[in-house]
């Protein structure tokens, strides 16, 4: 009887219930958009992190744990209607026709492949949970970014949940699909609502159609690409590697411009006008951050080595090496320009998230640059419109400098080690500093009134602009020295 039910469920491929495991930067926004576009589908996002789920359920939608322009509006439309957030992982899996795996896949920190390979323990745990709790036929969708051939591991774990494959035990069936996510943080909602493409890799056509039918509710069919599983898994790693490579390429040219008198903005415009090159992702900066690029390239190099492709591994490794060099180079420029020492000097850090319009700080260049400046003994005044003080404390791994009666002379005299303080406003961050470093391209920084705020800076004062945010004339008029990346 159960087998007949499975067959009916398989044939009627319209999905009614989705469970998404992982309520992070991908799971939350992705499911919010699917729920918004598909009112006929009931979606529950589950997570083992109760705090995170509580924040997703916070009555004030401004307190949801992921900041993305447009997300809170969607959440207020669909939450409690056809989108739910819960910690009841097993229960929700059992109700679902389709389960998305949206969990973290960071770089391994120990064991075989440490520092390069992806840690798949969360994915494996999910596969085991799905194997245990699924009922009937379930389509399992890899949304996390995964090494090539992970679908095979997932399939093996799922199949092992029915050891005898007899009629009484074989009441669960699974199809595994790869459906990598290409959203970028800060523009996630726009990327999800009008994606360049949706990629679906798989072997079971019916399952592929079930998933593509969901996207067809708002994505034109011409943008839905269907491939085999391995092409899909590999395309995600390759796309991120290509994007990161462009950033390292333009950052290498920025250093070249500084040495030769070119201006990287002009060079980027000139080369980007070539249709074959294209103008996007040519913005020189302090180095790429975010949870994906470094991790995915490391994973690609690990796999290249595993398959005996040493030269391929070396090629992609150099993209990361240049990125690390860029961050160190910027810190060194600051020290050099401030007369070779920053010990006891105060420096404003403008921007702590890895890019504008997100509160995410994972792999943010600001972390490495701030750590380097702290090592040199600087007192940092850190400002970011969305990143909270606790997060900065976690990332720098040094408590915030606290002095009951904050006296700048005490700070300057006592801080061989360097110290940092969180500043709520740009004005406070710039008060009495020797320099300001713009590390994230937040809109607020484009609108700084340098002529007013520079009056409070300690002369001779510097502005270091790593994101091409300021207008050089305004800085000069305000009597400040300017260092611009790639100028
Ligand atoms: P995240 O760390 O923000 O969220 C992952 C969530 O999964 C966490 O809240 C964690 O508690 C939960 N989780 C882990 N194991 C679980 C389990 N067994 N059961 C229930 N919940 C569990 O990660 P993210 O940024 O959303 O990324 C998720 C995946 O998507 C990664 O593979 C990443 O590479 C990929 N990706 C990320 C982005 C991005 O911009 N962040 C873009 C595209 C793809
Ligand atoms: C990236 C990919 O773009 C996305 O497709 C994938 O799904 C996840 O990884 P994300 O890391 O969120 O997205 O942001 P992205 O816009 O790619 O920026 C990554 C880093 O590169 C940021 O630190 C950003 O400031 C930097 N960057 C980007 C540049 O320095 N210059 C550029 O021209 C573009």
Question: What residue ranges do the domains of the chain occupy?
Answer: 5-227, 228-487
335 in contact with ligand 2, CB cutoff 6 A: no
Between CA 82 and CA 217 the distance in angstroms is 16
Per residue in 293-303, pLDDT tens? Answer: 999 999 999 99
DSSP tag of 486: T
182 in contact with ligand 2, CB cutoff 6 A: yes
Torsions phi, psi of 456, nearest 5?
Answer: -90, -5
418 in contact with ligand 2, CB cutoff 6 A: no
- 444 alpha carbon – ligand 2 mean position (Å): 20
**Which residue's C-alpha comes closest to atom 14 of ligand 1?**
103
pLDDT of residue 311: 98
Between CA 180 and CA 232 the distance in angstroms is 7
pTM of the model: 0.94
Where is average pLDDT lowest: 120-134, 157-171, 207-221, 253-267?
Answer: 157-171
Q: pLDDT category, 5, cuts 50, 70, 90?
A: very low
- Say if residue 129's pLDDT is above 70: yes
Long-range contacts of 302-306 (CB under 8 A, 24+ apart): 302/113, 302/116, 302/117, 302/118, 302/147, 303/147, 303/148, 303/237, 305/116
- Say if residue 24's pLDDT is above 70: yes
Closest by CA position to 290, among listed 237, 355, 369: 355
Nearest listed ligand to the Cα of residue 29 = 1
Per residue in 46-88, pLDDT tens? Answer: 999 999 999 999 999 999 999 999 999 999 999 999 999 999 9
191 in contact with ligand 2, CB cutoff 6 A: no
In 223-350 the beta strands, taken as DSSP E runs, fall at 224-227, 346-350
Question: Any alpha helices (H) in 42-187, and if so which ranges?
Answer: 50-56, 71-78, 89-95, 121-133, 150-159
Pocket of ligand 1 (CB under 6 A): 21-27, 46-49, 52, 89, 102-105, 122, 125-126, 144-145, 181, 183, 185, 291-292
Per residue in 453-486, pLDDT tens? Answer: 999 999 999 999 999 999 999 999 999 999 999 9
Give me the CATH code for the 5-227 domain, please: 3.40.50.720
Q: pLDDT category, 194, cuts 50, 70, 90?
A: very high
282 in contact with ligand 2, CB cutoff 6 A: yes
pLDDT of residue 163: 59
> Which architecture, in CATH terms, is 228-487?
3-Layer(aba) Sandwich (3.40)
Write the CA distances from 471 to 133, 272, 330, 447, 464, integer angstroms.
58, 22, 19, 10, 12
Q: Are 370 and 382 in contact (CB under 8 A)?
A: yes
- 17 alpha carbon – ligand 2 mean position (Å): 32
> Once rounded to an integer, what is the mean pLDDT over residues 15-42?
98
Cβ neighbors of 118 (< 8 A, separation 6 or more) are: 105, 106, 107, 108, 145, 146, 147, 295, 299, 302
Between CA 27 and CA 18 the distance in angstroms is 12
Is 292 among the residues known to form the active site?
yes
Q: Are 442 and 425 in contact (CB under 8 A)?
A: no
More confident residue, 409 or 43: 43
> Once rounded to an integer, what is the mean pLDDT over residues 102-116?
94
Per-chain mean pLDDT for the chain: 94
- Say if residue 416's pLDDT is above 80: no
State the Cα angle at 99 between 93 and 101, rounded to 5°: 110
373: helix, coil or strand? helix
Side-chain-side CA neighbours of residue 249 (13 Å): 16
- 27 alpha carbon – ligand 1 mean position (Å): 7
Between CA 371 and CA 105 the distance in angstroms is 25
In 102-211 the beta strands, taken as DSSP E runs, fall at 136-142, 172-178, 198-201
- 102 alpha carbon – ligand 1 mean position (Å): 5
Q: Prior bond to 460 cis, omega within 30?
A: yes
Per residue in 335-349, pLDDT tens? Answer: 999 999 999 999 999
Torsions phi, psi of 224, nearest 5?
Answer: -95, 110
Which ligand 2 atom sits closest to the C-alpha of 285?
30
Phi-psi region of 389 (alpha: psi -120 to 50; beta: other; left: phi over 0): alpha
Cα separation of the two ends of the chain: 73
Nearest listed ligand to the Cα of residue 264 = 2
- The token pair at 56 is 């997703």
Is 236 among the residues known to form the active site?
yes
Between CA 74 and CA 218 the distance in angstroms is 15
Ligand 2 pocket mutation, candidates 180, 181, 190, 247, criterion most atoms within 8 A of CB: 247
């Amino acid at each position: 009887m159960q087998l007949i039910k499975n067959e009916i469920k398989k044939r009627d491929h319209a999905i009614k219930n989705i469970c998404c495991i992982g309520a992070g930067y991908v799971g939350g926004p992705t499911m919010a958009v699917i729920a918004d576009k598909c009112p006929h589908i009931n979606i529950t996002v589950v997570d083992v992190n109760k705090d995170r789920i509580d924040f997703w359920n916070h009555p004030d939608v401004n307190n949801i744990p992921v900041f993305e322009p447009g997300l809170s509006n969607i959440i207020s439309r669909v939450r409690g209607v056809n989108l739910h957030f819960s910690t009841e992982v097993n229960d929700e899996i059992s109700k679902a026709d389709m389960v998305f795996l949206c969990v973290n896949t960071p770089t391994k920190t120990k064991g075989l492949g440490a520092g390069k390979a992806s840690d798949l323990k969360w994915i494996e745990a999910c596969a085991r949970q799905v194997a245990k709790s699924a009922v009937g036929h379930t389509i399992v969708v890899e949304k996390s970014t995964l090494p090539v051939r992970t679908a095979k591991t997932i399939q093996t774990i799922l199949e092992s949940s029915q050891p005898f494959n007899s009629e009484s035990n074989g009441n669960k069936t699974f199809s595994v699909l790869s459906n990598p996510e290409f959203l970028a943080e800060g523009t996630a909602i726009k990327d999800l609502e009008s994606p360049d493409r949706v990629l679906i890799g798989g072997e079971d056509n019916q399952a592929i159609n079930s998933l593509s039918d969901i996207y067809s509710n708002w994505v034109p069919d011409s943008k839905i690409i269907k491939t085999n599983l391995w092409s899909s898994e590999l395309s995600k790693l390759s796309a991120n590697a290509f994007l990161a490579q462009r950033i390292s390429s333009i950052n290498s040219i920025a250093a070249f411009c500084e040495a030769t008198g070119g201006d990287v903005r002009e060079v980027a415009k000139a080369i980007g006008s070539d249709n074959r090159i294209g103008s996007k992702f040519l913005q020189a900066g302090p180095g790429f951050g975010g949870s994906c690029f470094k991790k995915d390239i490391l994973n690609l190099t690990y796999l290249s080595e595993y398959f005996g492709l040493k030269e391929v591994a070396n090629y992609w490794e150099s993209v990361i090496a240049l990125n690390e060099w860029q961050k160190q180079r910027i810190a060194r420029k600051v020290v050099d320009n401030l007369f070779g020492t920053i010990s006891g000097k105060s420096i404003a850090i403008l921007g702590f998230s890895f890019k504008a319009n997100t509160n995410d700080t994972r792999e943010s260049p600001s972390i490495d640059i701030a750590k380097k400046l702290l090592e040199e003994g600087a007192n940092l005044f850190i400002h970011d419109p969305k990143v909270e003080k606790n997060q900065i404390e976690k990332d720098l791994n040094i408590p915030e400098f606290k002095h009951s009666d904050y006296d700048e002379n005490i700070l300057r005299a006592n801080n061989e080690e360097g110290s940092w303080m969180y500043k709520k406003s740009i004005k406070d961050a710039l008060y009495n500093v020797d320099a300001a470093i713009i590390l994230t391209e937040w809109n607020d920084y484009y609108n700084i009134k340098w002529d007013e705020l520079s009056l409070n800076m300690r002369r001779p004062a510097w502005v270091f602009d790593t994101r091409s945010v300021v207008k050089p004339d305004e800085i000069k008029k305000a009597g400040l020295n300017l260092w611009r990346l790639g100028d």
